[in-house]
Amino acid sequence: MKKITTALLGLTAVATMASVASTATAATAMRCSHQLPPGHHIAKVIDRWAAEIESQSGGDIDVQVFGANSLVGAKKNIVSVAKGDIDCGFSVNFQWGKTLPMMNVTLAPFAFGDINLWRKWPGTKSAAFLNKKLLEKGVHNAVWLFTTNSSVFSSKGKALIKPADFKGLKIRGLAPAFNKSLQALGAAPSSMSGSKVYPALATGVIDAGLTDVAAAVSRKYYEVQDHFTVVPLISVYFHGYVNPKWYNDLSAKSKAAVDSAGNKAAGWAIDASVAASSAAPDQLRAKGAKVHIASAAEIKVLEDIMRPAFDASFAGDDADTNKLLKLLAAE
């Protein structure tokens, strides 16, 4: 498994693969793009997943992992895979935006705190339903990677705890329905990928960040923000997907390797995410940041404002989204 972190190395790797692909014994290239920095716990799970595919395929698949947006940008991964420009990509659920908004069901404020739901997720009817919808959008889902149900509001000068603290604040947004919940607090959300938050904070484009608590460490938010409020706000997941033709052209052995590695990695991601979330508050404190763990009473005040705004915007009249909500309720 090759880890590639620069565009120059990426071009070299692609050229090298092209030169050997003509030989009958060449392994099938699997170029995978993701946005995460090397230190992020899910980036490490992706590396382990890639090695597992190579091992189980007996070397028939050569997985090349391009992290930190070094192959294509985060917003281009989905289209690039669907078109077949690259073989594999990873996206966080809210990057599907208006293309497949039901992927954002886990952004319902304070609704997905039970880790057991994620442990059984790959085998659920809800996951199967989303797999089908993803295929309709041009990608074959390969792996679910739970990332966090422990979020953090980052800020400078004072902690964000009460609804009044958010009034007029420019804050990192996510998907449209979730942004409605931030607007209900009086904040002004601006949606952006995780890699763009740090520079936006550093330059004053936004006043406050929102991410999973472990990412606040790996992306070094503590360098530009000094207060962090930890809340069980949203559940976020990455997922890996491949071009359907690329997958269908694989041998039965290679398909089984991709499928099996995906099932294993789903469990690895949960374990890594729980560990990272548990360690992150103390890691932030060690960097000099002030960390506030929201109390149950503080959470209830935020939920009473945010959840109704999200619910009103999310489902609407979309039949598929409402079907997903019913499936989730029955899991």
Same domain, 268 and 288: no
**What integer is the mean pLDDT of 272-288?**
96
**More confident call, 248 vs 330:** 248
Q: Is 193 left (phi over 0), alpha (psi -120 to 50) or beta?
A: beta
Residue 315's pLDDT band (boundaries 50, 70, 90)? confident
Same domain, 92 and 176: no
Same domain, 211 and 301: yes
Q: Give the DSSP H or E segment for 236.
A: strand 236-242
DSSP assignment of 263-301 equals HHHHHHHHHHHHHHHHHHHHHHHHTT-EEEE--HHHHHH
Same domain, 73 and 185: no
Copy the structure tokens of residue 316: 């609407």
DSSP assignment of 136-150 equals HTT-EEEEEEEEES-
Q: What separation in angstroms does the CA of 113 have from each of 77, 108, 137, 280, 326? A: 28, 10, 28, 18, 18
Q: Model-level pTM? A: 0.81
User: pLDDT averaged over the chain?
Assistant: 92
Taking only the tens place, the pLDDT of each residue in 1-52 is 766 654 444 444 444 444 434 444 699 999 999 999 998 999 999 999 999 9
Q: Give the DSSP H or E segment for 248.
A: helix 244-248
Q: What separation in angstroms does the CA of 44 have from each of 37, 65, 147, 222, 292? A: 10, 11, 12, 22, 28
Of 276, 291, 307, which residue sits at a domain end? 276
Taking only the tens place, the pLDDT of each residue in 196-243 is 999 999 999 999 999 999 999 999 999 999 999 999 999 999 999 999
Same domain, 50 and 196: no
Same domain, 202 and 132: no
**Cα–Cα dist 106/247, whole Å:** 28
Same domain, 201 and 323: yes
SS3 126: helix
Name the domain count of the chain: 2
pLDDT of residue 1: 77
Contacts of 210 (CB under 8 A, 6+ apart): 151, 152, 153, 154, 171, 172, 173, 174, 233
**Cα–Cα dist 197/209, whole Å:** 7
Same domain, 20 and 101: yes
Q: Which of 49-58, 66-75, 91-100, 314-323 has the lowest mean pLDDT?
A: 314-323
Same domain, 189 and 242: no
Copy the structure tokens of residue 89: 């990509």
Same domain, 9 and 79: yes
| 296-314 helix and 176-184 helix, angle to the nearest 10 degrees | 130
Structural domain that includes position 322: 151-234+279-330
Dihedrals φ, ψ of 8, to 5°?
-65, -45
CATH code for the domain in which residue 11 is found: 3.40.190.170
Same domain, 292 and 200: yes
Same domain, 63 and 193: no
